[in-house]
Structure 1
Amino acid sequence: MCGRYSLSKSKIELEERFQAEMLTDFKPRYNIAPTQLVPVITSDSPKGFSFFYWGITPDFGQNKPVAQKLINARAETIHEKISFKSSFQKRRCLIPADGFYEWKRLGKKTKIPYRFTLRDEETFAFAGIWEEYENVNGESNHTFLILTTSPNEVVDEIHDRMPVILSREEEKKWLDKYTSESDLLEMLNPLAPELMVSYTVSPLVNSVQNDSPGIIRKTSPMDQFGNYTLFG
């Protein structure tokens, strides 16, 4: 599962990286969570950024725990499940990011947050699918899901799933409506572990109310809890 990620780049940096125009103001985000409105690039509009809700809209998700919200789709079955098949074939998207978070359990009550990034700290893109529907007021809403796969050796120490991270070459193919299903499925593998790093971060990331640069700063478990030593 991927339930939190960061996008700490500026609007100008994102436009340059993805060669796409962003018509809306954007401030760097350090703690993106489900139901929030965030930038994506769709197969319908590859030269511009769109702003879609992650998983479901806030109104629909009100008073529902995160466990009940659909925010990810398993890459292994994306082409088979009726609920995802059409989006996989026709409505694919890139979700820009520069890191994602997972939590390592330490005992029954304590979990330590980790941030995963590319080794060069560059911006990348998750593979995603998107959907359009009308709400109860007849307004059009757009949502997206992040595809997940089995973990590489870096993520496996913390979690049993990881988001699909595409290479730059794969990003273009992922948005191309004429890419074959077999070629699409070949992209949905774990990123090579030598391209990634991970480190512990502040427990401030645990609350979606916190969204500041300090969240992505390296913090040892000792700093977090006062008496733990740093571990792998």
Structure 2
Amino acid sequence: MCGRYSLAKTKTELEERFGAEMLESFAPRYNIAPSQLVPVITNESPRGFSHFYWGITPAFAKNKPVANKLINARAETVTEKVTFSNAFKRNRCLVPADGFFEWKKIGKKTKVPYRFVLHGESLFSMAGIWEEYETEQGETAHTFLILTTSPNAISAEIHDRMPVILKKENEAKWLAMDTPERELLEMLQPYPDEEMTKYTVSPMVNQVANDSAFVIRKTLPMDQFGNYTLFG
């Protein structure tokens, strides 16, 4: 799955990379979590960043709050499940990021956080789908989720799923409404592992409130007793 990611870049860097306009108030994000309002680029507005909540509320659960647990959709079944199929056909988006986090189990109680990045920690986009729903107050809100796929060699050491990272040349096709479904599905593959790397980060990333540059810095992993070790 993908349950946490980072977007530790400036407004200018995002605008230059994606050719879309960002809000003046944007600030880098280091520890993005479900239910938060974050920037995406949608098929309906590809020249500007929209701000949607991460966590889709299904159509059959209208007037419910953003669902923290419904944050990902499996690429292998996205066209089969009614919860996601309509959004996949009509409402696709790019989810900008420069890294994502996963946790490796060490023993029974300890999990070591890792950050996964492209070489150079460059910006990339994850494949997303979005939807519109009505809040309990009668207002219109927008939510999104991230598609996941089987892991590449880098990710498989830590988790059995990874987010779908789109090739830059496929981003416009992902948003285009006339792209055949067959081509869309072909994009939902594990990202080449030779273009990625991972490293351990501080357990401070475990707390959503910790949204500072410190949580994306490389650190030594810690064992169950809090001692620094060299296991990977």
Q: Shorter-normalised TM-score: what interval?
A: over 0.9
Deviation at 1:217, TM superposition (A): 0.2
Matched, 1:173 2:178: no
1: CA distance between counterparts of 2:124 and 2:224?
Answer: 28
Matched, 1:212 2:217: no
Aligned to 2:78: 78
Deviation at 1:23, TM superposition (A): 3.1
Matched, 1:146 2:155: no
Q: 2:65 aligns with which of 60, 63, 69?
A: 60
Deviation at 1:12, TM superposition (A): 1.1
Of residues 35-44 and 74-83 in structure 1, the stretch that sits farther from structure 2 once superposed is: 74-83
Of residues 82-91 and 15-24 in structure 1, the stretch that sits farther from structure 2 once superposed is: 15-24
Aligned to 1:227: 227
Aligned pairs for 1:46-195 within 5 A: 46-56=46-56, 60-61=65-66, 66=68, 69-195=69-195
SS at match of 1:53: strand
2: CA distance between counterparts of 1:53 and 1:216?
Answer: 22
Deviation at 1:214, TM superposition (A): 0.5
Cα pair distance change 1:193/1:116, threshold 3 Å: same
Aligned 8 A contact 1:34 1:56 in 2: no
Aligned 8 A contact 2:15 2:22 in 1: yes
Number of matched residues?
226
2: CA distance between counterparts of 1:25 and 1:86?
Answer: 33
Give unmatched runs, 5+ long, in structure 2: 58-63
Deviations 1:201-224 (A, max 9, x none): 000000001000000000001499
Deviation at 1:26, TM superposition (A): 0.7
TM-score between both structures, scaled by the size of structure 1: 0.93
What RMSD, in angstroms, separates the aligned Cα atoms of the two structures?
Answer: 1.6
Aligned to 1:31: 31
Matched, 1:15 2:15: yes
Aligned 8 A contact 2:223 2:229 in 1: no
Cα pair distance change 1:207/1:112, threshold 3 Å: same
Deviation at 1:227, TM superposition (A): 2.3
The percentage of counterpart residues that share the same residue type is: 68
SS at match of 1:229: coil
Deviations 1:101-134 (A, max 9, x none): 0000001110000000001211000000000011
